[in-house]
Amino acid sequence: RIVYLKDYRQTDFIIESVDLVFELGEELTTVGSQIRMKRRPGASPDAPLEFVGDGLQLAGLALDGKPLLPERYECTSDHLTINDLPADDAFTLTIKTNINPTANTQLLGLYRTNGVYSTQCEAEGFRRITYFYDRPDVLTVYTVTIIADKAKNPLLLSNGNLVEERDLGDGRHLAKWHDPFRKPSYLFALVAGDLAMIEDRFTTMSGRAVTLRIYVEHGKAERAGYAMDALKRSMKWDEERFGREYDLDIFMIVAVSDFNMGAMENKGLNIFNDRLILADPETATDDDYARIEAVVAHEYFHNWTGNRITCRDWFQLSLKEGLTVFREHEFSADQRSRPVVRVDEVKFLRAHQFPEDGGPLAHPVRPTQYMEIDNFYTTTVYEKGSEVSRMIATLLGEDGFRKGLDLFFDRHDGGAVTIEDYLKCFEDATGRDLSHFALWYHQAGTPVIAARSSYDAAEGRLELTLSQHTPPTPGENDKKPLYIPLRVGLISPNGDDMEPSAVSGGERTGDVLHLTESEQTFVFEGLGAKPTISLNRDFSAPVRVRFDQPREDRLKIAGAESDLVERWDAINGLALEVLTHATAAVRAGRSVDTDSALASILIETAEDGELEPAFRALALTLPSELDIGREIGEDVDPDAIHLARKAVFSAIANSGRASFARLVEELREDNGFSPEAGSAGRRALRNAALAYLAEAEKSPLPARQAYDAATNMTDMIAALRILAHQFPGSAETSAVLADFRQRFDGEPLVLDKWFTAQATVPGEATLDRVAELMGDAAFDEGNPNRVRALIGAFASSNPTGFNRPDGAGYRFFANFILATDPRNATLTARMMTAMRSFQSLEAGRREKARAEIERIAGQEDLSRNLRDIVNRMLKS
Ligand code: ZN
């Protein structure tokens, strides 16, 4: 069954309101649904009502209070069709279903784990609760009554405002919630259980008092403080930056420990994976704090971009996700260091989205067909979608973007709309034609921009020729030129930005060149000296740039570019070049040239007190083995990459030994812990230096000492990782791994870091260790966080271990996927994408990988999610 965008049509009936009554039972929950509805004006008078379900059991069906005779309807576990409904008059349908929340291991719909009932309905989970129009364009008002055992479930939550609470006298109690905002079913949520809570208040810009609550497991309440702080900052920021105000009297977040994704923006009741809420210095790293801040903001921002305005159909997913990621990125940039945040985004995009866009699972930001929508919650829809909104902002300027977005909120509040509706707002607000630009939504693949330049010294004229080309993606061979905003800096010999007297060859606004054709030559006049050209400043477009620039220019950008994103990129590019050459040397049996220029630039940057520590840490960190493999792109040999990187790392460590020792000494933090970005940056720099120092000293002792002295999880896990990865098998490593395991017994989120640190140790031996760790008492194959921390990390972040030449890594992984697929298909399909780039491996590994993917594809009972992924992976 494939769903096509072109088949979209409205429902035949309109839903005015829905009343849900849940009688919660661990193995039997009954759901009563009373739906006020009528035929849509203009719909055929005899069209039947067609609702969807998923694995449901019907327990009752009535029309206007009278049981429906069997000949009036057809019902299966996934479908309910009712005939002969009134042509004009409104009517009330009552549907009863029985569901089993405890048996629901898919974690979609209503499920109970760890003693807590919770829901996940996006995208198509509501149909696992009751028969309904489970689609985003059907908006209605929900009233939800929850009845449950009071001792076990003192807490009964749903969307909106609490309107009634009552004891039923039989050990049960009841709570009734009403959400005045019309919403689609995917935003429905229910939580029941026994949880701890922290509360705070926020007064909106118009003076509305809002109660804020975060619910977590008992004993973890103090760990919710940072998330609460992030929530208040998000609310304030959205008012100031985008004029968006919160709209209910209460905003709740619930942290649950078994959750497939990161978090979910249910109206007024966000539900989170607990790893994205819980933080304190002893258990969370600086990266955890940053993720928590970003995701709390992301889900909150959805209240406007997603909930008040939602998607007409799931093909429009990026309408809410791309825009909300962009808003989240801007928030992080304002809360932290803008260039450092931007570099992290660039790294993420290149590490995840570019390979998706260049591999068998490539799809446009707005796809036109899907087999399983869950498989389209991708980095393309999210992160590339965000980059597309960022490019709109770049083209229109901050004011133009704000005007367009204001119009969007104004025009479409309460609506379920399309990406065309979104773009039209920017066009109408600014008068700018975005029809060519819109291709970014419809064409898959990462454009490659090739640049060449020539300078005429006598005339002071620079010619810059830019050409663009997008490689073919599955099902799409002919690519058209895109509308690409490219920020270009011209740097004078003394390091300042130069401003030409005139530019021709295409539109230029500020420092942005509008590249619209397959090839264009921009001519810059009136330059006093030959400039160094800096392309794609601030990563203004999500493209690859191929520019054969003289090495001196690249070194200049790496050493002095005022745009720090470009500066980092130049440093990173130099490192990638050295590392790919070193890999080629290893494979050819030659000795590795470790390049002293690279070492100098890394060490100088790390020591440059004018730069913020977080940036220096980014510069000092070599590209990962995965980064190098992606740069090489084909015939990849992970073992050669590993050896080459080790040689280069070691050479840098030796030549910078004194500097690294100094940095480790100077950056000792004495004034207690703060999660704030500046302190985090100092820790990042110190720990990056510590890895080099340990390598230079060829001794586990500096890391062992750092572990013992650590007062926070960032330093602790950094030391542990250095030991596990650089000194595997040493006595210090074993001691520290054992100490950590015992110290954090009963802290599953912390032990996830321990699992991951070990699953990512390079080399063949790790597979056996991973298998052994599956037997650890803290490992739980039903918990997505545990599974991802151990098996997910092994498959996606351990190139030498997973890609063992004998194929045992693939076999182990495929066995796990097959065993887990019946239990949780969202999880297995997502994890399977770790193998999507198997075609870029050298032939021996590639064929062994392919054989395992084929073995999976050959099974009969795969979930639709996994079937879709493996089929697409094998097709191209
Ligand atoms: Zn989202």
Average pLDDT over residues 488-514: 97
- In angstroms, the CA 329 to CA 337 distance is 11
How many whole angstroms from 141 Cα to the centroid of ligand 1?
A: 22
By the 8 A CB rule, do 544 and 573 touch?
Answer: no
Q: Which helix (H) or strand (E) holds 189?
A: none
Q: How confident is the model at residue 726 (pLDDT cuts 50, 70, 90)?
A: very high
pLDDT at residue 841, rounded to an integer: 98
Q: How confident is the model at residue 469 (pLDDT cuts 50, 70, 90)?
A: very high
Q: Is the pLDDT of residue 557 over 80?
A: yes
How many whole angstroms from 684 Cα to the centroid of ligand 1?
A: 28
Q: Report the amino acid identity of residue 447.
A: P
Q: Report the amino acid identity of residue 143.
A: T
What does the pLDDT look like over 71-114, one tens digit per residue?
999 999 999 999 999 999 999 999 999 999 999 999 999 999 99
Q: Is the pLDDT of residue 876 over 80?
A: no
**pLDDT above 70 coverage of the chain, percent:** 100
By the 8 A CB rule, do 317 and 282 touch?
Answer: no
- In angstroms, the CA 748 to CA 776 distance is 12
The sign of the CA dihedral 310, 314, 315, 321 is positive
How many whole angstroms from 320 Cα to the centroid of ligand 1?
A: 7
SS3 678: helix
How many whole angstroms from 264 Cα to the centroid of ligand 1?
A: 7
pLDDT at residue 671, rounded to an integer: 80
Average pLDDT over residues 4-33: 98
Mean pLDDT, the chain, integer: 98
Per annotation, catalytic residue among 124, 265, 293, 299: 299
pLDDT at residue 595, rounded to an integer: 80
How many whole angstroms from 773 Cα to the centroid of ligand 1?
A: 33
What does the pLDDT look like over 141-176, one tens digit per residue?
999 999 999 999 999 999 999 999 999 999 999 999
- In angstroms, the CA 393 to CA 402 distance is 8
Residue reference for tokens 């065309």: 420
What does the pLDDT look like over 840-850, one tens digit per residue?
999 999 999 99
Q: How confident is the model at residue 48 (pLDDT cuts 50, 70, 90)?
A: very high
pLDDT at residue 19, rounded to an integer: 99
- In angstroms, the CA 571 to CA 588 distance is 26
By the 8 A CB rule, do 875 and 854 touch?
Answer: no
pLDDT at residue 593, rounded to an integer: 84
Instruction: Give 494-503 contacts, CB < 8 A, sequence gap 24+.
Output: 495/556, 495/560, 495/562, 497/562, 498/527, 498/528, 498/529, 498/531, 500/462, 500/524, 500/525, 500/526, 500/527, 501/525, 501/526, 502/526
Q: Exposed e or buried b for every residue in 500-509, given b needs 16+ CB within 10 A?
A: beebebeebe
By the 8 A CB rule, do 852 and 813 touch?
Answer: yes
Better pLDDT: 157 or 670: 157
What does the pLDDT look like over 788-803, one tens digit per residue?
999 999 999 999 999 9
- In angstroms, the CA 504 to CA 463 distance is 10
Average pLDDT over residues 547-575: 97
User: How many CB atoms are closer than 10 A to CB 678?
Assistant: 12
What does the pLDDT look like over 631-654, one tens digit per residue?
999 999 999 999 999 999 999 999
Q: Which helix (H) or strand (E) holds 411?
A: helix 385-412
What does the pLDDT look like over 319-345, one tens digit per residue?
999 999 999 999 999 999 999 999 999
- In angstroms, the CA 13 to CA 41 distance is 9
- In angstroms, the CA 281 to CA 225 distance is 12
How many whole angstroms from 325 Cα to the centroid of ligand 1?
A: 7
How many whole angstroms from 106 Cα to the centroid of ligand 1?
A: 20
By the 8 A CB rule, do 284 and 246 touch?
Answer: no
What does the pLDDT look like over 781-840, one tens digit per residue?
999 999 999 999 999 999 999 999 999 999 999 999 999 999 999 999 999 999 999 999
Average pLDDT over residues 212-240: 98
pLDDT at residue 113, rounded to an integer: 98
Residue 681's alpha-carbon distances to 229, 294, 563, 585, 757, in angstroms, are 20, 17, 19, 35, 21
What does the pLDDT look like over 237-291, one tens digit per residue?
999 999 999 999 999 999 999 999 999 999 999 999 999 999 999 999 999 999 9
Which of 207-216, 502-511, 591-600 has the least mean pLDDT?
591-600
Q: How far is CA 82 from the centre of its chain?
A: 40
What does the pLDDT look like over 584-632, one tens digit per residue?
999 999 999 888 899 999 999 999 999 999 999 999 999 999 999 999 9
Q: Is the pLDDT of residue 46 over 90?
A: yes
pLDDT at residue 584, rounded to an integer: 98
- In angstroms, the CA 287 to CA 479 distance is 38
How many whole angstroms from 328 Cα to the centroid of ligand 1?
A: 9
How many whole angstroms from 324 Cα to the centroid of ligand 1?
A: 6
Average pLDDT over residues 364-381: 98
pLDDT at residue 188, rounded to an integer: 99
pLDDT at residue 862, rounded to an integer: 98
pLDDT at residue 804, rounded to an integer: 98
Residue 217 among the catalytic residues:
no
How many whole angstroms from 299 Cα to the centroid of ligand 1?
A: 6
What does the pLDDT look like over 744-783, one tens digit per residue?
999 999 999 999 999 999 999 999 999 999 999 999 999 9
